Each structure stands twice: as C-alpha cells, then as structure tokens.
Structure 1
Amino acid sequence: MDIEKHSTMMNSLLTLGHNLLNETDIYPRTIDSISRTVQTLEQRWLSLKELIMKRKFESDNIHISWRNIDETINRISKMINDHERFLTEIKRTSGDGLQGIRNEYKSLENFKRTLDNDDKEIQKIANCHSEILRLYPTADSNNEIRNRIKDLNHRWKILNETVHETLKHLKYMLSIHGDFQLTQDSLLLWLTDLDVLLTNLEYLSEAPTNEKIRQLHDMDREIQEKQAKIEYVQKCANYLLNKTVDARGLTINMNELDKFLQQLKNLTKRIRKLKQ
C-alpha cells in the first residue's frame, strides 16, 4: 500500500470530522457519534501508518541483508574457485623427485593455514543466514540462499578433506623415505666395518684357528640380527617405488640397496669359506 497516496484523502476526512464537531446545529447524540468515529479513525490510521512503516523497515532490512549475503556468497564462491585451482597447481609446480615432494608438502602446510583462516568466512555466512531466518522466518521461503550456502559448505568440506588427506599421505611417505635412507645408511656403514674385520681376519690376523672361528660365528650372528633391518629397508623401498615417489632418487637408492645385498651375500660366502 502506498500510504502517501492516501494521506491527503485521510487528512481531508479527519479535518471534515473535526469541523463537524464544531457545528452548533447538530444534535448532541450525533456529535458524540461523530467524535467516537473520528477518534477511532485517527487511531486506526495511526496504527496503519506505524504498521506500514514497520513492514517497510523490515523489507528494507531483509533486502539489504539478502544483498549482503548474495555478495558474500559470490565472493566466497570465487575464493573457493581460486583455492581449488591453487591446489591443482601445487603439485604441478612443486617439481620432481624427493625435493618436489618436500616442496609440495610445505606448500600444502601453508595453504592449510590459509584455509583455517578462511574458514571464519564460511562460518560467518552461515551464521548471518540463520540470524536473518530467526528475525524473518519467511525470508528464504524458496530455500534459494540456503541451497547456495549448502553448496558452498560441501565444496569447502571437499577442499579441506583433500588437503588434509594429501598432507597426511605426503607426511607418511616422507617419513618412510627418511627411515629408509637412515636405515640404509646405517646398514652400509655396518657392512663396511664388517668387511674390514673380515679382511683382517682373512689376511692379517695371527689369531688361533678356534679364535677365528669364534669371530666368524660372531659375524654370522650379527648378520642374522640385521635381517630385520634389511627386510625393513626392502619393504620401505618397495612401498616408495609403488607410490612412484622420487623416481630418480629411489633408483639410485635401489642401486645402492642392490649393491649392499650383493656385498652382504659375498661377505657371507667368504665367512662360510673361512669356516671350512
């Protein structure tokens, strides 16, 4: 209702009523009736104007709030699009090999902090929508805004889960690779020391035969004790190769592992030969 359009007519009607009340040739009973009518009309007109102003205020508020939410949804949707593209680009731009995996992990860690900070925006828009519906329950009667927010939340959840799972996966692979490298290095050092001892026993030692046999048995026992570590290194190498992580670096490490296993095999043969 356009209240301004009817204001002139209502003002004229009320003025007429007040003028009639000032007439002296009207019966008192009629004057009393006119007085009540004018008073009632004034009260209803005032109430109607207040109601219309209230509805207009609410409508303006809803419109402003809806416009703000619409702008926020569009902004957050663009933000998620940018994040999704960035996530795709991280792997492509991180580089190859082990260093590439480390670069990717570091980039994702930084990206995760960005997502944690942006999560406040996602929560904020949901809270704003809930607040509008609390104040104006019929504001989103067709669920348009609700469905758009639901879609944003779904995309946001998928994005965060992808980052979380990728970080978890990369961290595990880097941990396995680190253990693999450390264990392999320690085995190589151990084998070098064992080879030196065996060489001394073969060519330089003047110890009695029974002492040499005892030392050879000790070497056999050491080799048996190292079997668990050797199997662990092989298992790590196979896992990493299956994940195609650091292909070039692992090829080198696998060559070292193959070389180590061959040297250990040769050393075992030398021990067996000396025992004869």
Structure 2
Amino acid sequence: MGVLAGKVAVVTGASRGIGAAIAVRLAAEGAKVVVAARTVEASRSPLEGTIGDTVARIEAAGGTAFPQATDLSREQDREALIRAAEERYGPVDILVNNAAVTYFTPVSEFTERRYDLMFEVQVNAPFHLAQLVIPGMRERRTGWILNISSVAARHPTFPPGSWAGRGSTVYGMCKAALERFTTGLAAELYADNVAVNALSPNRVVPTPGTLFHGLTTDDDPNAEPPTVMADAALALCHRPAAELTGRIAYSQDLLTELQDRAL
C-alpha cells in the first residue's frame, strides 16, 4: 500500500531514463502503471532499454504494470494507449508526458521532417493525450497531469555560453510550448481539482539519451540521478490541485521546498 494505491498511471517514454524511473517510482507507491514507448525490442534502438525491461523491474519489486507499444507521433497510437489503459486497469488518474524525440541541430540546418516530428512528439502528443484523459478526470473531480520539461525552455543569456552552438533551439522551443500549455491547462482545470504541472531536472540527468548526445557522462559529479526526478514526479502526482498545480517546477528545488514545509 502506498499513496497511489488504486490509481492508474500512464507514463510515456518509459523504456529508459527519466520515464522508466518515474514509472518504477509510481508503481512502488501502489499505482498500476501503463509503460508506453516505441522500443519493444532492444535491437530496434541504439539506446539501452525497452518497455518490457521497465515492466520487469516493476513486477520484480512487487508492482503492477503492462507495456504498451506506442509511437507518440501517431494519433491512432495515442488513442490506443489510453484505450488500452482503461480496458486493462480502468480510468486514468495520472498522465506523465515524458516522451521525446530530439535532434541537436542548428536552425540553419534543421529539416522540416525533424522539426515536425519533434513538435508532434513533445507538444502535440501531450496536448492530445491530455484531451483524452480530461473528461474522465473532470467527471471524477480528481487527476494529475505532469509534463516533463527542461532548463532548455529558458531564454539564453547574453553573451551566450558554450551551449549556444549545440543546436538546442528547437528543443527549447518545444519545452517552452509545453510549459505554457501546462500553466494554461492548470488554470482551465483548477475548479475541477485536476493538477497540471511541468517538471525539469535542476541538472543534466545521465540517461541513455543524454549520454548518447554527449550532454553528460556516467561519472559526472554534477549530474542528477534519475531517482531525484522520480521522487519529484511522485510529489506532483498525488497532492491536491489546490496545493500544487500550475507549477514550472525543478526537481531538487521542489523536493527542498516540500521538505521545508514538513519541518
């Protein structure tokens, strides 16, 4: 038994990294978790981790989960994801939009196909998935929607630092749009007691993706463990909307704030 006992959670991009850590943490608190991502077989991706691996971790710890192969760029897959969750476990109480497709390329070299794909997965998909779960949350007058963001959403400082040449402009655009969607939706759903928040790590998290892009290393002393994001996600996925909603939160800052409140 945990604070999420009886709740149904959908976590996208949960085959590895932050998404997998969040799925495991929610399950440890009693949630029935639908683990969604494209990667079903290890050979299909250059990055380590599959939805089956995450489900196996959850079940080994005594939790409940099932894998749902989902291409978030496809409208029909998004609809199938929520339908599968409802048929298997019941109405969705928690939606964590974590999935991302990212290309670090300068604007002058960005292709239309990659641009459209990034916005489809990181902006349109969270918007659509929220639309699919909102009616049920409103009817039950409870629910939590969490969008995973990044410090890349912030405007660069000038003169710009060394990161300016890494081609993160489009990634930052996606996350900025996601954050504005978060606060707007939180305002819309406030009276319905549905919490909507965005969460970013304070520092780069070592994941298969960030390691692949050379954003950090396994032995980086300044990196943030995925479990910190998972703990912060849990904090945003069970408190009343009147207490925590419409936040653009940073993991370590949020956990410190909540710890100080408890003292």
TM range (shorter): under 0.3
Which is higher, the Rg of structure 1 or of structure 2?
A: 1
What TM-score, normalized to structure 1? Answer: 0.22
What TM-score, normalized to structure 2? Answer: 0.23
Q: Relative to total residues, which structure has the larger helix share, 1 or 2?
A: 1
